[in-house]
Amino acid sequence: MPINEDKVNEQKPWPGLSAYNENDSINFFGRNKEIAELVDLIESELLVTIFGASGTGKTSLLKAGVSPKMIEKNILPIYIRLDHSKSAPDYIAQTIIIIKNKLAESKIETEELSKSILSNQTESLWEFFHRNEFWNKKNHLIKPLLIFDQLEEIFTLRKYDINAENFINEIGWLCENSVPTPLQGYLRENNIKINIPIHTQNYRVVVSLRDDFLAHLESITLKIPAFRKNRYGVNRFNGIQALDAVIFPGKKILNEEVALKIVYSVTNKKYAESEINLENAEVEPALLSLFCRELNEQRIKDNKNQISIEDVQESSLNILTNYYSECFSNISEKTREFVENKLLTDTGYRNAIPQEDIIQNGISVEDIDKLISLRLLRTEKRQGTRWIELSHDILTNIAISSRDKRRSDYELQNEKKRVEVLSKEKKIEIRKYRKKITLSLSFLVLLLISIIIVYFVYFKTYTEYYGSVVNKHGFITGLRQLEKDNISHRNFYYECIKQGVYGEYDNVYVKNGYGNLSPNQNIFRYIASQDDNEDALTNDIINENQIGVCHWELIKDKDGHIFCEKAYNKKNEIIYNFTNKNNINTSSINKSIFQYTDSLGIQNRKINQGLSYIRITYDNNGYDKLYEFFNSFGIKKANIYGDYAIIRKYDNNGKILIEKSLDQLGKTITNNIGVSIQYYSYQGDSLKITTYCNQYNEITKNKNGYAIKRTYYDIYGNPLKYFYYDEYNNPCLNTSINAHGIILRYNNNGNLEEKKYVGIDENSLVANKSDFTAVYKAKYDNKGRQLIFERLDKSKGNNLAGIVTKERIYDDISLTKELHYIFKDNALKYIYKHQIWKNNLNQDILSYTYNIHNLNSEYFQKKSYDKNNNLRYYAYFNNKMKPFEFNDINRKYHACYIFYKEKNNSIIKYYCDIANNLIPTGPAIEYFEYTNKSQKPVIIKSYDYTNKIINGYYYNYDEFGNIISKSYIGGVSETSFRGDHESKYYILNFVWNLQNNKIFEFVGYNEFNEPSLIEEKENVYYKKVISKDKYFFYDYNGEPIQIDSMKKNIKKYPVVYYIKLQSKYSPAYIAGVKDGDILFKYGDWIYNFKRDFNGLLHEEHKLNNFPKQISIVRFPECKIYRFNLPAGLTGFDCDTLHYTENEKIRLMSIINTIKVK
């Protein structure tokens, strides 16, 4: 029980972040419904699990709400908070000690019904409660109620401990009313008959934990099904409950109006108070209690009798952050650093530490006592020792933010020191170099010989060929080296290139027998299985997968360790990066931590399990021994096969021998394919046997119905046959393909020509499970390009659903015709046709497309290229070769003409109708401008058929081609200013979420790269954050803006008026006025940062028939210009912009100090 809590009374009715105790029930309100439901549930059920978010008041509900009611029903609540320190007794012994102390304290008499069976061991909870009865002074039978609060600490502080596992088992036996396994064994071994009344259940159990640990609880329900039942969720207060929790305990120090104002202040429904529905509002109980306590403390300090409306209005929702900061205002930095480093785990959970240890670390006792008195920390006695911890989980995020900022500042200082050291080292290197060039020419011959040796040893490029590869210290290393004469017969092989004799391979290519890049490969890349994937062969035949990885580039860091592995497809596009985030290399440990990202530096899209990091431990030979998978928070997560970790063993040549699947605790588990251990054995290079076992090392069938797989290879290393067997080595079916085996046949260049599915007799054909095909066949030309692909049934006919035949025709370079056939009415009928005709120079191409599934997709397309292979023109025609207009998302058009300008590396597209005129609706002209370094446009502009700009943008990209900012281009003068047709901004920066490849933040900046406002309809903000499909807005000071108060906030920003020109023929444009100029003087009207639009309109009307003079400020020039305009209309409109205070100051400074030009 915490000993630092003040007693709750009429003048101090709220405990803040501390929990209410049993004696506080008179001041505990707002949970009547939950108390009644829990009392009934606990009274009727043996086990009740209470869960809820941190700060919802689970402990207070149990102590001050439920416990007093249970005592009235002769049920004795025993509150149990376990001591997780290594020096503490085991959990079972702790629990029994607490129970006995509580019974003695409550003067409950224990009647022993029978003697303990295992008298020389710690008694189990089940035995203790079944051989004892408990009576009070009135001779009433008492039921003990064990309340295990904050059970999640077992999962966070001692999750790998056998002590925790034993304790969970004890709870299970107690709640399942099952004789404990050790006791059963003892009774059997000694042939003893149990003499305990095993069917009595004179006890109750309540388990309380945070809702984010329900998954941990779910993982043990296989052992303890009782945990699946009787779960009770504790939610945050609704507005009515919150009002009760304020007004009833505080009735002497506040009135109902003030109580209602407090609830409005802390509810998460931020609307106008008149719009709040109290029943639907949500209030954090801990925050409410803290808010009330802080208000009350201020009342006492001010010597007031009551809390007033004004007191509430002067407070803010940042009271928790302010409270945390104020607590440390007079505390040493050393103490704050200790609290944030030691009382928080690395993963952000609270951690309790004995006060003795704190003192030994040189922390001031006065500081700790002060933080305890302020309720930032709490103290608790466990086994006679005083323990210190943060008072509530609600403080952890604030403490984490403070800790992260401090660490970031520390790392910045270290980086500066490191740069200084490197600078000094560089100067030393320069001096050494100057000495070297002064050496005598007599060493020239020796130097030349050395250079030649060094070249051949370290710099010459060597190419080697392998049938398979393995990872060694993170680098790809070859196995089964191939002679160059043999590689042309393989379905695929690895071409490994390195620099120098002893270096690791810098590039590894997968090629087929024709020497072309091929996506076929069986290399293990940590998320998928290394085992030969026979289904992938089918996919390659059917789909000719062009995006598969076929090239790895391996990059080292300065120490020669693997830094990054880049994977490319046939088009040399990056599929993923596998980056080394940390090396841990000591005499006893050799491991690295890697992260998968895609070409944009975003978490790989193929990893849909939430995995972010992989930790690899290497064995003595450098082979990957252990793989452990983690999410972005450092918590272990399973891969697609359900493995939290994989451990491997290899022979001396790098061939894998054993692979085990492990859980979070490193124990062998059964994974998603139904196996725990895989054994691999080899008979030379012609046979590989894979054996699957369960966690007891017994040969067992996997989820596909087989226990042993035999893979046979030809003399070139191509897989020829796969056969499957049960645990007794009898032939069986692989249920995933509905076949006993797969037989493959290749042509002389390793291309797969035939694939058959066979039955138990290894001869008869069977239909596979996926598309009922029994035989796949393919034919290729002399360049390895597929000409014909066929699917056959068991009778080798085409009587199958779907596409059964594909025909392809090529010229010397590319595909010219493709047909797809289905089998219908006993005949082959084509449903898709695509044909291409080219002239001799390949400058004019005509293509025809027909698809039966889309009747509107029958058309001809004509394309024309210039001599540099640039597309110059394309147009659409119907099936009678008559022009027709093609519909796309943005426009309807017949033809597009494309012009290239090499001078500024730009492209212009003109979209025309059948009459060859620019289309009258939609973007008729598009302008794209590129840089030499990027294939992505940096400028895009769209115009209508009158050459009037519709919109345009400047784009900036990061090194991966990801958009990081854009700015608007528009107006008559086609300049950058804050005038997008949908929103107003000068520069819009994007921040990307690495987890889901979506934009996470939008941030506004002005011409000077300073924080600036974004105007979006009626919303004005500096930053918009997207989280869980919700929008959060912030001003330029970083303060959150609530949506309901957005309109109110607009009024606090200074307003300026900017010019929008109407046309290039307007008097203002001719005079030199530009779009985006800031208007500050029009005749007698002078700009004053207020919304004086009526005054401006009045002045325009007054001077309409007279010459007038206007003055503007132009950015980013920071200059003032004056223009004289003739009588009549000016030819421009004005619109409003909202400025920050800094922008207002700059504008006023220019107006007041710069001479008018």
Residue with the larger pLDDT of the pair 78 and 858: 78
State which of 372-386, 493-507, 981-995 shows the largest mean pLDDT.
493-507
> Residue 981: what pLDDT?
60
pLDDT digits (tens, 9 = 90+) for 216-253: 888 787 778 888 888 999 998 998 999 999 999 988 89
Contacts of residue 147, defined as CB under 8 A and 6 or more positions apart, other chains included, come to: 62, 67, 77, 78, 79, 80, 206, 208
Cα 255 from chain centroid? Answer: 47
Q: Which residue has the tokens 């061991």?
A: 121
Three-state secondary structure of 1089-1105: CCCCHHHHHHHHHHCCC
Q: Could you tell me the pLDDT band of residue 282, with boundaries at 50, 70 and 90?
A: confident
What is the arithmetic mean of pLDDT over 429-452? 76
Helix axes 333-342, 396-436, angle to 10 degrees: 100
Whether the predicted pLDDT of 183 surpasses 70 = yes
Whether the predicted pLDDT of 921 surpasses 80 = yes
Whether the predicted pLDDT of 895 surpasses 90 = yes
Tell me the C-alpha distance between 1107 and 695, whole Å: 94
Whether the predicted pLDDT of 3 surpasses 50 = no
> Residue 842: what pLDDT?
64
**Coil, strand or helix at 526:** coil
Whether the predicted pLDDT of 507 surpasses 50 = yes
Question: Which CATH topology does 239-316 take?
Answer: Helicase, Ruva Protein; domain 3 (1.10.8)
CA-angle at 969, arms to 964 and 971, nearest 5°: 160
Whether the predicted pLDDT of 603 surpasses 70 = no
Q: What percent of the chain has pLDDT over 70?
A: 89
CATH architecture of 323-403: Orthogonal Bundle (1.10)
Helix axes 239-247, 285-301, angle to 10 degrees: 30
- DSSP H helical segments within 975-1092, as ranges? 1046-1050, 1067-1071
Tell me the C-alpha distance between 695 and 866, whole Å: 66
Whether the predicted pLDDT of 806 surpasses 70 = yes
Helix axes 333-342, 365-373, angle to 10 degrees: 70
Question: Which CATH topology does 1055-1153 take?
Answer: Pdz3 Domain (2.30.42)
The pairing of strands 47-52 and 231-233 is parallel
Q: Is the peptide bond before 285 cis (omega within 30 degrees of 0)?
A: no
Q: Could you tell me the pLDDT band of residue 587, with boundaries at 50, 70 and 90?
A: low
Whether the predicted pLDDT of 413 surpasses 70 = yes
Alpha carbons within 13 A on the beta-carbon side of 619: 14
Q: Could you tell me the pLDDT band of residue 999, with boundaries at 50, 70 and 90?
A: low
What is the arithmetic mean of pLDDT over 328-349? 86
> Residue 1: what pLDDT?
32
Q: For residue 37, what is the enclosing H or E element?
A: helix 32-44
> Residue 532: what pLDDT?
37
Whether the predicted pLDDT of 1000 surpasses 80 = no
pLDDT digits (tens, 9 = 90+) for 665-711: 889 999 888 889 999 999 887 888 888 898 888 999 999 999 999 99
Whether the predicted pLDDT of 996 surpasses 60 = no
Transcribe 675-718 into DSSP letters. -SEEEEEEETTTEEEEEEE-TTS-B---TTS-SEEEEEE-TTS-
Tell me the C-alpha distance between 751 and 19, whole Å: 72
* Residue 841, both tokens: 């120079």
Long-range contacts of 311-320, Cβ-Cβ distance < 8 Å, separation of 24 or more: 311/258, 312/258, 312/261, 312/262, 312/265, 313/261, 315/265, 315/291, 317/265, 317/266, 319/290, 319/291, 319/294, 320/287, 320/290, 320/394, 320/395, 320/398
State which of 170-184, 368-382, 722-736, 803-817 shows the largest mean pLDDT.
722-736
> Residue 535: what pLDDT?
38
Residue with the larger pLDDT of the pair 118 and 137: 137
What is the arithmetic mean of pLDDT over 465-481? 87
> Residue 766: what pLDDT?
93
Whether the predicted pLDDT of 271 surpasses 60 = no
φ, ψ for residue 469 (rounded to 5)? -140, 165
Q: Could you tell me the pLDDT band of residue 534, with boundaries at 50, 70 and 90?
A: very low
Whether the predicted pLDDT of 738 surpasses 60 = yes
Tell me the C-alpha distance between 328 and 460, whole Å: 62
Q: What is the pTM of this model?
A: 0.45
What is the arithmetic mean of pLDDT over 710-714? 92
Transcribe 839-907 into DSSP letters. -TTS-EEEEEEEETT-GGG-EEEEEEE-TT--EEEEEEE-TTS-B-PEE-SS-EESEEEEEEETTTTEE
What is the arithmetic mean of pLDDT over 636-661? 88
> Residue 759: what pLDDT?
94
Look at 59-73, 607-621, 785-799 and tell me which has the smallest mean pLDDT.
Answer: 607-621
> Residue 269: what pLDDT?
52
> Residue 840: what pLDDT?
63
Amino acid at 3: I
- Cβ neighbours, 10 Å, residue 345: 12
Whether the predicted pLDDT of 531 surpasses 60 = no
Look at 133-147, 769-783, 970-984 and tell me which has the smallest mean pLDDT.
Answer: 970-984
**Coil, strand or helix at 26:** helix
pLDDT digits (tens, 9 = 90+) for 103-132: 999 999 998 888 888 766 778 889 889 989
Tell me the C-alpha distance between 657 and 655, whole Å: 6
**Coil, strand or helix at 743:** strand
pLDDT digits (tens, 9 = 90+) for 818-872: 888 888 878 888 778 888 887 766 678 888 888 776 655 788 889 998 888 889 9
Q: Could you tell me the pLDDT band of residue 601, with boundaries at 50, 70 and 90?
A: low
> Residue 2: what pLDDT?
35
> Residue 980: what pLDDT?
62
Q: Could you tell me the pLDDT band of residue 878, with boundaries at 50, 70 and 90?
A: confident
Residue with the larger pLDDT of the pair 139 and 383: 139
Whether the predicted pLDDT of 178 surpasses 80 = yes
The length of the chain, given as a count of residues: 1157
Tell me the C-alpha distance between 96 and 124, whole Å: 9
> Residue 959: what pLDDT?
55
* Residue 932, both tokens: 């030499």
Q: Could you tell me the pLDDT band of residue 933, with boundaries at 50, 70 and 90?
A: low
pLDDT digits (tens, 9 = 90+) for 401-410: 888 888 888 8
Bridge partners, 871 (sequence order): 865
> Residue 350: what pLDDT?
82
> Residue 527: what pLDDT?
46
Whether the predicted pLDDT of 480 surpasses 60 = yes
What is the arithmetic mean of pLDDT over 715-725? 91
pLDDT digits (tens, 9 = 90+) for 142-165: 999 999 988 888 877 655 577 788
- CA quadruple 206, 212, 217, 222: dihedral sign: positive
pLDDT digits (tens, 9 = 90+) for 186-208: 888 888 888 888 888 889 999 99
What is the arithmetic mean of pLDDT over 753-759? 94
Transcribe 304-338 into DSSP letters. -SS--HHHHHH--TTHHHHHHHHHTTTS-HHHHHH
Tell me the C-alpha distance between 42 and 47, whole Å: 7
Residue with the larger pLDDT of the pair 575 and 99: 99
Whether the predicted pLDDT of 552 surpasses 70 = yes
Q: What percent of the chain has pLDDT over 90?
A: 24
CATH architecture of 31-233: 3-Layer(aba) Sandwich (3.40)
pLDDT digits (tens, 9 = 90+) for 559-569: 888 888 888 88
Contacts of residue 1080, defined as CB under 8 A and 6 or more positions apart, other chains included, come to: 1056, 1086, 1087, 1111, 1112, 1113, 1147, 1151
> Residue 274: what pLDDT?
56
State which of 279-293, 428-442, 1019-1033, 1101-1115 shows the largest mean pLDDT.
1101-1115
| Summary mean pLDDT of the chain | 83
CA-CA distances (angstroms) from residue 788 to 260, 756, 820?
78, 17, 10
pLDDT digits (tens, 9 = 90+) for 947-966: 888 888 888 876 556 688 88
> Residue 165: what pLDDT?
82
- Cβ neighbours, 10 Å, residue 884: 14
- Cβ neighbours, 10 Å, residue 1149: 11
Tell me the C-alpha distance between 977 and 970, whole Å: 8
